[in-house]
Amino acid sequence: MKIKRKKALFVFLLPSVLFVVAFGVYPTIYSLLLSFKDVNLITYIRGTAKYIGFSNYLEVLKDPLFWGAFKNTLVFTGLSLFFQMTIGFGIALLFNYEFPLKGFLQALIMVPWVMPIMVSGTYFRWTFGDSGFLNNLLISLGWIKEPIRWITSEKLAVYSITFANIWLGIPFNYLLLYTGLQEIPEELYESAEIDGAKGWQKVLYITLPCLKPVILTTLVLGCIFTMKVFDLVWIITKGGPGGASHLFTTLSYSLAFDRFQFGKSSAVIILMLLIVIALVFALNKVKIEEG
């Protein structure tokens, strides 16, 4: 019976394992191999790419665009995680109480998360355009005299795409945190009220400590999802203007399909992967210590 169960388990797990190998392990190993070769369009087609060691990594690390993408990725990820978590937590606390139209509003909050990225990206590109909705609104209210270059300014572009990503990620954070709140025993709050605890004290000394595992898990998942964002940024700015809003993902794509420098593109992705692994490892270590 044990052998049959193991065989059945293997059969059920096999599709998942094959999927992970085909779309996760193989592309990663292939990208790692490409990062050590001089691969461009000609050498790729002819199959004559030469092994050049760490040259691609050295050239990438000397490229100002890489360090610009590094800074942008940190800003994009840091601000996204902070505001998604903070706003999501606030909404979760609000919906932890019963009030009219609660179900309808909960469904409404999930709209950004279920909306196709193409639609969301196009909406924000139109909203933040020089002659888009936001500038027209601010001008009509008399708050500005001329359009603000939200996505065509080297200084503002990265913050505009970060705002868009925050809006998209709030529902995910809210959902996880709200689920965690439902698991906190009501007796803890009742006991705190008897001891004279006020609302903010209950949040600080009961809610947050009980939610620590959920918060850390949300941060880990948010870090992974945010670092690999590509489509939203590409739709809104394509990494522009002049590469000012490039993240690791968009820079890698641009190197591969605009310049056909596949080796450098792979090097950027591998460096990004190492950073993600380091961040996730650090967050998981904090989670284990808290546990």
Boundaries of every domain in the chain: 64-290
pLDDT at residue 289 is higher than 70: no
- Segments of the chain assigned E as strands: 37-38, 50-51
- Residue 22 burial (CB < 10 Å; 0-12/13-18/19+)? exposed
The alpha carbon of residue 267 and the mean position of all alpha carbons in its chain are separated, in whole angstroms, by: 20
Amino acid at 220: V
CA dist 15 and 240 (Å) reads 40
Q: b/e per residue, 43-62, with b = 16+ CB within 10 A?
A: beeeeebeeeeebbbeebee
Q: Which residue, among 263, 259, 236, 233, has the nearest Cα to 247 in the 3D structure?
A: 233
C-alpha to C-alpha distances, 259 to 55, 205, 246, 247, 284, nearest whole angstrom: 17, 54, 15, 17, 37
C-beta pairs of 152-157 under 8 Å, 24+ apart in sequence: 152/240, 152/241, 153/241, 153/244, 154/241, 154/242, 154/244, 155/244, 157/237, 157/240, 157/241, 157/244, 157/245
pLDDT bracket for residue 291 (50, 70, 90): low
Cis geometry, peptide bond prior to residue 209 (ω within 30 degrees of 0): no
- What fold, for 64-290? MetI-like fold (1.10.3720)
Write the pLDDT tens digit of every residue in 173-221. 999 999 988 888 888 877 877 777 777 777 788 888 888 888 888 988 8
pLDDT bracket for residue 279 (50, 70, 90): confident
Angle (CA) 17-18-22 rounded to 5° is: 120
pLDDT at residue 167 is higher than 90: yes
Q: What is the mean pLDDT of the chain?
A: 87
The residue written with tokens 């601010």 in the block is: 138
Residue 245 near residue 72 (C-beta atoms within 8 A): yes
Write the pLDDT tens digit of every residue in 236-245. 999 888 889 9
Write the pLDDT tens digit of every residue in 75-85. 999 999 999 99
Over residues 147-166, mean pLDDT: 92
Write the pLDDT tens digit of every residue in 233-276. 999 999 888 889 999 999 999 998 888 899 999 999 999 999 98
CA dist 157 and 244 (Å) reads 7
Sign, CA dihedral 277-223-155-127, equals positive
Give me the pLDDT at residue 1, please: 53
Give me the pLDDT at residue 190, please: 74
Give me the pLDDT at residue 290, please: 58
pLDDT at residue 144 is higher than 60: yes
CA dist 156 and 159 (Å) reads 5
- Segments of 3-97 assigned E as strands: 37-38, 50-51
pLDDT at residue 8 is higher than 80: no
Give me the pLDDT at residue 3, please: 66
The residue written with tokens 């792979």 in the block is: 266
Write the pLDDT tens digit of every residue in 100-128. 888 888 888 888 888 889 999 999 999 99
Angle (CA) 119-122-124 rounded to 5° is: 110
Q: Which of 14-18, 132-136, 145-149, 165-169 has the lowest average pLDDT? A: 14-18
Write the pLDDT tens digit of every residue in 27-47. 888 888 888 988 888 887 777
